Amino acid sequence: MARILFLAHRIPYPPNKGDKIRSWHFLDHLLEHHDVHLGFYIDESADEKHVAFLEGKAKSLCFERVSKRAQKLMALRGLIDGRPLTLAAYPKNKLATYVRDLTSAGGIDLIFLFSGATMQLIEGVASDIPVIADLVDVDSAKWTAYSHVKPWPLSWLYRREAQVLSDYERQITTATDATLFVSEDEAAVFRKTLDASLSAKVRAVSNGVNLTHFDPQRFEAAKAESDPLKVIFTGAMDYAPNVEAAEWFTRSIWPRVRAKYPSAEFLIAGGPKVSEVVVLERAEGVRVLGYVDDMAETIASANVVVAPLLTARGIQNKVLEGMAMAKPVVATPAAHEGIAATAGDHLLVAANEDEFTAALDELLTSKDKRETVGNAARAFIEDHHSWASCLSKLDKVIAEVMEARKK
């Protein structure tokens, strides 16, 4: 049993969005086997009600409030002092003191950083404490992608963020004992930016799915084919790539689907209800659900899951969850990246409007096709994306890092 300091850029509970799904399962696993001291930021006041739950599990806990409006203002300081905006958006006050007090007392065996933004919290910490940084995705590559599609001056700002953040990501790898990414594809992208001597530090630990919760057998009543046919897209709808995906699908693909299936419905599930997404309900057959009580139940009510992301990094939990629910998934190449599922067998991959429309037509026309792809999808998730198998890889990295420091 080790004494671990776990630092996250956002409260790691509840697991209701992509980064929190990963951070919570990592944290929950570590809590079962180690003494964990926990520090994090809270950027939504509603999340404060979950602090008591985490206090009951952690050895100690500290959090720092930061509003999203304040973060936008603080981020601008990065333009002045040369830091990434992503880093400048987080203060170093209360949490930095918490980290300093814990580490100086000699009671920490390992530091686990969830997100590169927390790296600044351990500045000045004794170098004899091993550190693992989970960057999840290559964020600098995401900003590069944004810079190619945004108008000036955003294109300049995003290009600048990509360059500065890429430098910082390399600094993190230099300063830590291991750097984690959510897929081997992401790890390979990042290794190309490094000197060969640092490549061995870069490891892939994938995301899993809660196979008990996302289990189609829980929803026997929903297994009957729905009338009308339903297509669903899930995710946090205040996240720019999800908004972009919902807009593209609704405006470019959905009218073509409705022309053949006039009673079909397109469900957009996940909150919050931002104006850019709500306005999509003006299209025929589109419903914006916002937050739902049980995403597994909502997916169970649909016939086909879509992941029409044009900009994406790492692994898409929405794809894993749809597959776990034995639903056929139609994904863009960007949404498929990082998932070793075979296109055509475990899911369908569509690179443009014509291919996406054709894939949906194939699935909506044939119940047998939906069941064949959906059942293969579930089997793939069971074999490759159980949390138990993913977390065993995390345990291996931790053991190797701590053993190496003993030598």
Biggest CA-to-CA distance, the chain: 68
Instruction: Look up the domain containing 375 and give its range.
Output: 216-384
Q: 344 and 394 share a domain?
A: no
Token pair recorded at residue 343: 């296109």
Smallest Cα–Cα separation from 58: which of 78, 35, 74? Answer: 35
Q: How many CB atoms lie within 10 A of CB 265?
A: 18
Residues 65 and 161 in one domain: yes
Distance CA 144, CA 3 (A): 38
- Measure Cα distances from 203 to 21, 26, 136, 182, 187 in Å: 19, 15, 10, 9, 6
CA atoms within 13 A on the CB side of 90: 24
Mean pLDDT per block of 10 residues along the chain (407 residues) reads 96 91 97 97 94 97 92 89 93 95 93 97 91 96 89 94 96 97 95 92 96 92 68 94 97 97 96 94 97 94 96 93 98 96 98 98 97 98 95 97 85
Note the pLDDT of residue 122: 96
Report pLDDT for 200.
Answer: 93
| 241 shares a domain with 162 | no
Supply the pLDDT for residue 220.
75
Strand partners, 290: 269
Domain with residue 75: its CATH number is 3.40.50.2000
C-alpha to C-alpha distance for 244 and 247, rounded to whole angstroms: 5
Q: How many CB atoms within 10 Å of residue 183? A: 21
Tokens 């520090």 -> residue = 39
Say how many domains are in the chain. 2
**172 near 135, Cβ under 8 Å?**
yes
- Residue 301 and residue 396 in one domain: no
Report helix, strand or coil for 198: helix
